[in-house]
Amino acid sequence: MTDKVVVITGASSGIGKALAEKYAAKGFNLVLAARRIERLEALKEKLSNVEVLPVKTDVSNEEDCKHLIDKAIERFGKINILINNAGISMRAVLEDVETEVLRKVMDVNYWGTVYCTKYALPYLLEQKGSVVGVISTGGYIGLPGRTGYSSSKFAVRGFLDTLRVEYLRAGLHVLVVAPGFTASEIRETALVADGSQQGKTPRNENKMMSAERCASIMYRAIKNRRRKMIVSFWDGKVIVLVAKLWAWLVDQILYAVFKNEPDSPLK
């Protein structure tokens, strides 16, 4: 057992929930953040071997993020790891999408990461701890029909890469993790052009990497203080590498793949 403390945003489902279960199995005390507090409370009951502090948090709200970190320090007195996992997706071409949708995606994905990291930073520096940002392959290459999503993930990568350099001599560990397609609720809750939720996934979730597998890979990367981690192979490492060599080819492939999705927004 350990007295280390990990803060995980977006912990009510998917990768965030799987990370909570993984860290609980390793004996970490948990501070879990999400808007759906009832899910966090249920998860707390399940993870009875460690101390779990659920905090209702909308990461797009700066005061909520400050409150999350304040509650973590009030309860445990320190933070060893912050995992910025909360995220939202969208699915619409630019000419159709309401600008408010783009703003909302950026508020959750980018500003949520900035706010939580900003307020946790003094405590992470004290522990020479880890700050983690969960992006996706879409944070390396532009995904058609996902202008707001890819832009936000590029922004998170730029923010954390810069943070790493700023605190290079302070012992802060910064990891940017890019999962490929992972089974989760993110496609069901993705926003369409008018800001409503998509409600169903356009892809076969059964063929994707499980959230638990992704969480295990992330756990090792954090433990080994990796700088960057592209989790998946074909829809991750390979496509990012090919994009560096033959960007025009990847553009063609991505367009074809996303155009052939059910109800694709691409013309």
Q: Tell me phi and psi for residue 53, to 5 degrees.
A: -115, 105
Q: Which comes out higher in pLDDT, residue 182 or 241?
A: 241
Decide: 31 and 71 in contact? Cβ < 8 Å.
yes
Angle between helices 147-166 and 112-127 in degrees, nearest 10: 20
Mean pLDDT of the chain: 92
- Residue 265 domain-assigned (yes or no): no
- Residue 266 domain-assigned (yes or no): no
Sheet architecture: strand order including 173-178: 52-56, 29-34, 5-9, 81-84, 130-134, 173-178, 228-230
Q: What total number of domains does the chain contain?
A: 1
Helix (H, G, I), strand (E, B) or coil at 228: strand
Buried b (16+ CB within 10 A) or exposed e, 158-173: ebbeebbeebeeeebb
- Residue 264 domain-assigned (yes or no): no
d(CA 186, CA 127): 32
- DSSP tag of 190: -
Structure tokens at 170: 């302070």
Residue 7 pLDDT: 98
Q: Which comes out higher in pLDDT, residue 161 or 182?
A: 161
Residue 190 pLDDT: 85
d(CA 122, CA 34): 22
- Residue 267 domain-assigned (yes or no): no
- Residue 246 domain-assigned (yes or no): yes
d(CA 86, CA 153): 12
| pLDDT tens per residue across span 76-113 | 999 999 999 999 999 999 999 999 999 999 999 999 99
Find how far residue 55's CA is from the centre of its chain. 17
Residue-number span of the structural domain to which 150 is assigned: 5-259
Q: Which positions are annotated as active-site residues?
A: 149
CATH number of domain containing 198: 3.40.50.720
Decide: 92 and 145 in contact? Cβ < 8 Å.
yes
pLDDT band at residue 54 using 50, 70 and 90 as cut-offs: very high
Query: Does residue 9 have a pLDDT over 80?
Result: yes
